[in-house]
Amino acid sequence: MAIAYGRMRRWLGIGYVGMVTASCALILVFGIASKFFSTTSQPTTNLASELSCAILVFSLCSLPFDVVGFNIEKLYGRTSLTLQSFLLKQISAVFKYDLVLLAMALSLATVWANFGLFGLSVASVLLSLLLITTQLSFVRFYGGVLSERAPSGQLESALDGASPNHVVLVHTDQRTFSGGIVGLPGFEKIVIPKWWIADFSAEQLRAALARRSLIITSGGRLRGVMLALVFTSIGLLLAASVTTLHFALPLNSAAGVVTMSALFTIWSFFGLLVLPQFSHAGVYEADRLALEAGMDKEVLLQAMVKIDGHLEDEQERSPAVDTIFHPVPTIAHRLLALASSSKCKQQGAWQTARYAVFLSVIGLSLLGRAVHCNAGKPELWAMLPAD
């Protein structure tokens, strides 16, 4: 194709994220939430009813962008689904995602009503830890996929004697699913798509797994999770404070919840702009650690190119575009970083930008499934693409 796949997805993300963020700004500027929803404290049943209507409107407005995302996949030969099959799968996944949004909203409203802003700050940390612990369960819930522990004897050659019990295989046809790392610190598991075993050579698979194992031991993954958790907690506290103090809306009212959601969505948009630079440093750190551990540079490059070919498949991007829109930099920029004495020694926060997108559901952000890499791809809503 004349236009790179990654660029087409980026344009979709700009339109999708832009529409949602602009809509949230309009809601705040014109006080739209107070005009359509209750502004006083409500019983849980009434609150749930009004919020369900708000979430339904959001889902209907988002559907055209999801369909555009599907058409891009068809254009580039990346899916075999028909439009009807896609819609059935998407509507089912959106319903599940909306249930999670509603549950989070009702939980936050209840916590605020009983414990105030301090209770919300504590709840945000506890919910973040819960989501990190159950991330793989959310992948299965949204995407309808199956997972299994790597069978004994299947990955020994790639793991250099490490236990395959720490590797989880996910059954999915979504080629942009590249897995990641799940679990609390000290209990991490490496997740990869099962088709990698057949598609990668033993050396390439060893390089991919070694990078993730090393970024765990170096603390890079921990830094990524912690930065995303802190970013989420600060954003939730700010959004709740502005809602209750500036807009004078209780958080157990539908207007209050919608207003807080709009505020946190704008906070999430800010995160999309600033957090990728920390993720970049995490990618560069993992590449460097693999070479320092004795990984053959050519094999490492082969694994990098193969994974990137399924993710973005975009050979060139300007540094500005790469930094703002893509938490995983291009192969060219990664090679330049390995050759740079300053970037080579940096410590990063691995996947922090995409952990923040996953955790953003806690603050009721509406961008969790609108970013370019996962729009219309439920398998990626809880585990966005990793390097």
For the chain, strand residue ranges (E) read: 146-149, 167-171, 180-182, 189-193
- Who's near 32: CB < 8 A, 6+ residues apart? 26
Axis-axis angle for helices 276-292, 331-339 (nearest 10) = 60
Residue 240 lies in a domain: yes
Amino acid at 135: Q
The answer on pLDDT for 297 being more than 80 is: yes
For residue 341, the model assigns a pLDDT of: 64
For residue 160, the model assigns a pLDDT of: 55
Residue 137 lies in a domain: no
CA 370 – CA 16 distance, rounded (Å): 6
Residue 294 lies in a domain: yes
Residue 159 lies in a domain: no
CA 102 – CA 297 distance, rounded (Å): 47
- Who's near 245: CB < 8 A, 6+ residues apart? none
CB 113 within 8 A of CB 340: no
Q: Containing H/E element for 338? A: helix 331-339
What's the pLDDT tens digit per position in 80-89?
A: 999 999 999 9
Per-residue pLDDT band at 272 (split at 50, 70, 90): very high
Q: What whole-number percentage of the chain has pLDDT above 70? A: 95
What's the pLDDT tens digit per position in 189-227?
A: 999 999 999 899 989 999 999 999 999 999 999 999 999
Using DSSP, state whether 230 is helix, strand or coil. Answer: helix
Residue 141 lies in a domain: no
CB 241 within 8 A of CB 117: yes
For residue 111, the model assigns a pLDDT of: 97
Residue 234 lies in a domain: yes
Per-residue pLDDT band at 339 (split at 50, 70, 90): confident
Q: How many domains does the chain have?
A: 1
The answer on pLDDT for 1 being more than 90 is: no
CB 373 within 8 A of CB 385: yes
Segment 127-135 mean pLDDT: 97
- Of residues 135 and 318, more confidently modeled: 135
Question: Which residues, listed in sequence order, are joined to residue 190 by a DSSP beta bridge?
Answer: 167, 181
CB 97 within 8 A of CB 369: yes
The answer on pLDDT for 152 being more than 70 is: no
CB 353 within 8 A of CB 42: no
Segment 275-298 mean pLDDT: 94
What's the pLDDT tens digit per position in 353-376?
A: 999 999 999 999 999 999 999 999
The answer on pLDDT for 161 being more than 50 is: no
**Nearest in space to 73 (alpha carbons), one of 85, 62, 61, 60:** 85
CA 319 – CA 254 distance, rounded (Å): 42
Residue 78 lies in a domain: yes
- Cβ neighbours, 10 Å, residue 220: 25
CB 379 within 8 A of CB 145: yes
The answer on pLDDT for 326 being more than 50 is: yes
Question: Which residues, listed in sequence order, are joined to residue 169 by a DSSP beta bridge?
Answer: 148, 192
CB 260 within 8 A of CB 239: yes
CB 142 within 8 A of CB 379: yes
For residue 344, the model assigns a pLDDT of: 60
Q: Which two tokens stand for residue 250?
A: 């209780």
Instruction: Kindly report the average pLDDT of the chain as a whole number.
Output: 93
Q: Which domain holds residue 40?
A: 1-117+202-377
Residue 296 lies in a domain: yes
Q: Which two tokens stand for residue 339?
A: 């050759």
